């Protein structure tokens, strides 16, 4: 049950710019998953010429997590999603949309979101991956919230998951020291209670596409595209750190101010900003530009490095765990990264402080059953498809098709 507070509500004036939604979209569940393996700055200095001192003073990062051979973007995303469903006490069958923001999917398709959907047993959901680099989670939450606010769905799962370690050039000290692996997820649910996702500013400037990227199959030898990917290693990340730094400090302030205005509040009303965790110095510069305290920015970059689209939901989970977000607080998300893309959002936290473990016992068993059934369903469906195609080969019409194919090969112009 979502509660609301009239004092907090009165801080927000509806200036008439936005129509009243059919339903409000509240964040009711959150979860995170990071690999166990910790890579410290000292570990890195054994790989490239760097030092703990350089990395800490230039970035604020001390360590990051690195996926094992058994972990991938979808497996980490699945764990984060399961935690989020647990906190929300939502069953997989209730989920109608799964969005996975990622730049490191296992495949171009099937999407990581479809794998997560199948593993959860979320059989009533649509699923897709979203590519907006480190802004992807905020883009995803906005799309899910819009679908809820329009009344077309009631429950959505948004995951941000990355295995950046697989796209790093481990010989490039200017990038490999910055990134880590991990996943975070939120569940959004429809409610009649005012609040939840109040505003979002999504922006892109593709003219900066050359400043950071990961060239992949479609980028080879294509006129107009190679100017972006040329000279960079296939499948590996490249970045012009200095330019990205300047871009980030500028857009954080601008987009947060716009998102607050759109929500009908001011920056002074915001209790916590959960930013993309790229570099402690970027956050310090953004706070200085906005004339706000550094403490208003949630930061855990020290322990995870830059986990791209996963960094905001991971930081959100830790902020909730630390009691830094209370019901009815206005909080903001802000992301920036490749594209170039950036995005800011204001959320009125309407959810009670649910702690994992308090969700309904029967529903917990039903979720576990859904995960087991999903695994059996996968095995059964794949087996039945392969038996079906073996039988199809024995059917008479299949023989006819083979004869026709043979004839066409023998007499191609007949
Ligand atoms: N260890 C030691 N020295 C290093 C390292 C390292 N790991 N990396 C670079 N250096 C050296 C450089 O070679 C350079 O040496 P030189 O002066 O002899 O030429 C010197 O340190 C300074 O290098 P700069 O690149 O100027 O260092 P800067 O202070 O700009 O920090 C950094 C670099 C940390 C990358 C910074 O620019 C940054 O954080 N940029 C933003 C990155 C970011 O936010 N990305 C977010 C988006 S990510 C996404 O969308 C997926």
Tell me: do 61 and 187 sit in the same domain.
yes
How large a percentage of the chain has pLDDT more than 70? 86
Q: Are 321 and 272 in contact (CB under 8 A)?
A: no
Encoding tokens for residue 89? Answer: 């006490």
- If one counts every other C-beta atom within 10 angstroms of the C-beta of residue 177, the result is 24
Enumerate the β-bridge partners of residue 29: 187
Using the CB atoms, write b or e for 142-164: b if 16+ within 10 Å. bbbbbbbbeeebbbbbbbbbbbb
Same domain (yes/no): 345, 296:
yes
Final residue in a domain of this structure, among 330, 357, 384: 357
Do 178 and 123 belong to one domain?
A: yes
Angle at the Cα of 152 (from 154 to 33), degrees rounded to 5? 45
Confidence of residue 2 (pLDDT cuts 50, 70, 90): very low
How far, in Å, CA of 4 to CA of 9, rounded? 8
Residue 237 CA to residue 129 CA, distance in Å, equals 19
Gap from CA of 324 to ligand 1 centroid (Å): 31
Ligand 1 binding pocket includes 338 (Cβ within 6 Å):
yes
Q: Are residues 163 and 33 in the same domain?
A: yes
Tokens 């001011």 -> residue: 266
Based on the fold, state whether residues 25 and 86 are members of the same structural domain: yes
Same structural domain, 215 and 142: yes
Q: Are residues 238 and 89 in the same domain?
A: yes
Pocket test for ligand 1, best of 53, 58, 138 (most atoms within 8 A of CB): 58
Ligand 1 pocket member 177 (CB < 6 A): yes
Ligand 1 atom closest to Cα of residue 237: 51
Is the CB–ligand 1 distance for residue 212 below 6 Å?
A: yes
Q: What is the pLDDT of residues 297-331, one digit of tens each?
A: 999 999 999 999 999 999 999 999 999 999 999 99
Half-sphere exposure of 154 (CA within 13 A, CB side): 8
Q: Check whether residue 309 and residue 404 sit in a common domain.
A: no
* Distance between CA atoms of residues 404 and 406, nearest Å: 5
Q: Is the CB of 311 under 6 A from ligand 1?
A: no
Atom of ligand 1 at shortest distance to CA of 59? 34
Read off the pLDDT of residues 85-118 as tens digits, 9 standing for 90 and up: 999 999 999 999 999 999 999 999 999 999 999 9
Structure tokens at 317: 């989970």
Tell me, in angstroms, the distance from the centre of ligand 1 to residue 132's CA: 22
Number of domains in the chain: 2
Name the closest-CA residue to atom 42, ligand 1.
241
Instruction: Provide the whole-model pTM.
Output: 0.90
Q: How confident is the model at residue 170 (pLDDT cuts 50, 70, 90)?
A: very high
Structural domain span for residue 159: 2-357
Whether residue 375 is found in the same domain as residue 341:
no
CB 198 near ligand 1, within 6 Å: no
∠ CA 68-138-208 to the nearest 5 degrees?
90
Q: Residue 232: CB partners within 8 Å, gap ≥ 6?
A: 213, 215, 238
Q: Is the CB–ligand 1 distance for residue 308 below 6 Å?
A: yes
CA 296 – CA 268 distance, rounded (Å): 10
Q: Is 102 in the pocket of ligand 1 (CB under 6 A)?
A: no
| Same-domain check for residues 114 and 15 | yes
* Statement to judge: residues 269 and 386 lie in one domain: no
Of 340, 357, 374, the last residue of a domain is 357
CA of 277 from ligand 1 middle (Å) equals 15
For residue 286, the Cα-to-chain-centroid distance in whole angstroms is 22
- Residue where a domain stops, chosen among 357, 373, 398: 357
Residue nearest to atom 37 of ligand 1 (CA): 241
CATH number of 292's domain: 3.40.47.10
pLDDT tens digits, 351-392: 654 444 566 889 999 999 999 999 999 899 988 888 877 777
Catalytic residue set: 134, 276, 306
Q: Which atom of ligand 1 is nearest to the CA of 44?
A: 7
Co-location of 371 and 272 in the same domain: no
Tokens of 286: 């953004």
Which segments within 205-357 are labelled E, that is strand? 212-213, 238-239, 270-275, 330-337, 341-348
Peptide bond before 340: cis, by omega within 30 degrees of 0? yes
């Amino acid at each position: 049950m979502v509660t609301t507070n009239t004092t907090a509500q009165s801080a927000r004036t509806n200036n008439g710019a936005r129509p009243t939604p059919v339903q409000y979209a509240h964040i009711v569940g959150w979860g995170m998953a990071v690999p166990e393996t910790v890579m410290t700055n000292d570990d890195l200095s054994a790989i490239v010429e760097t030092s703990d001192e350089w990395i800490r003073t230039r970035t604020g990062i001390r360590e990051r997590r690195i996926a094992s051979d058994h972990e991938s973007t979808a497996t980490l995303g699945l764990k984060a999603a399961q935690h989020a469903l647990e906190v929300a006490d939502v069953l997989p069958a209730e989920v109608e949309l799964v969005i996975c923001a990622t730049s490191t999917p296992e495949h171009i398709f099937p999407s990581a979101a479809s794998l997560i959907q199948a593993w959860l047993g979320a059989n009533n959901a649509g699923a897709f991956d979203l590519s907006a680099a480190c802004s992807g989670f905020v883009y995803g939450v906005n799309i899910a919230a819009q679908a809820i606010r329009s009344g077309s769905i009631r429950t959505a799962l948004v995951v941000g998951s990355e295995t950046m370690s697989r796209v790093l050039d481990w010989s490039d000290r200017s990038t490999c020291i910055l990134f880590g692996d991990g996943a975070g997820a939120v569940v959004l649910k429809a409610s009649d209670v005012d609040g939840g996702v109040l505003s979002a500013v999504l922006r892109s400037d593709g003219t900066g596409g050359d400043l950071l990227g990961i060239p992949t199959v479609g980028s080879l030898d294509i006129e107009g595209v190679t100017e972006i990917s040329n000279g960079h290693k296939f499948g590996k990340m490249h970045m012009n750190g200095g330019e990205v730094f300047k871009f980030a400090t500028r857009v954080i302030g601008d987009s947060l101010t716009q998102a607050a205005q759109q929500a009908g509040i001011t920056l002074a009303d915001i209790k916590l900003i959960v930013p993309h965790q790229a570099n402690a110095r970027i956050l310090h510069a953004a706070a200085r530009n906005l004339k706000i305290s550094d403490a208003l920015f949630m930061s855990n970059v020290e322990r995870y490095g830059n986990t791209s689209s996963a960094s905001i939901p991971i930081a959100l989970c830790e902020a909730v765990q630390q009691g830094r977000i209370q019901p009815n607080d206005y909080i903001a998300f802000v992301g920036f990264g490749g594209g170039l893309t950036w995005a800011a959002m204001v959320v009125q936290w309407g959810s009670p402080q649910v702690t994992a473990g308090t969700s309904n016992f029967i529903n917990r068993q039903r979720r576990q059953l859904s995960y087991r059934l999903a695994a059996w369903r996968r095995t059964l469906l794949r087996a039945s498809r392969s038996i079906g195609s073996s039988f199809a080969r024995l059917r008479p019409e299949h023989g006819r098709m083979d004869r026709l194919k043979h004839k066409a090969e023998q007499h191609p112009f007949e």
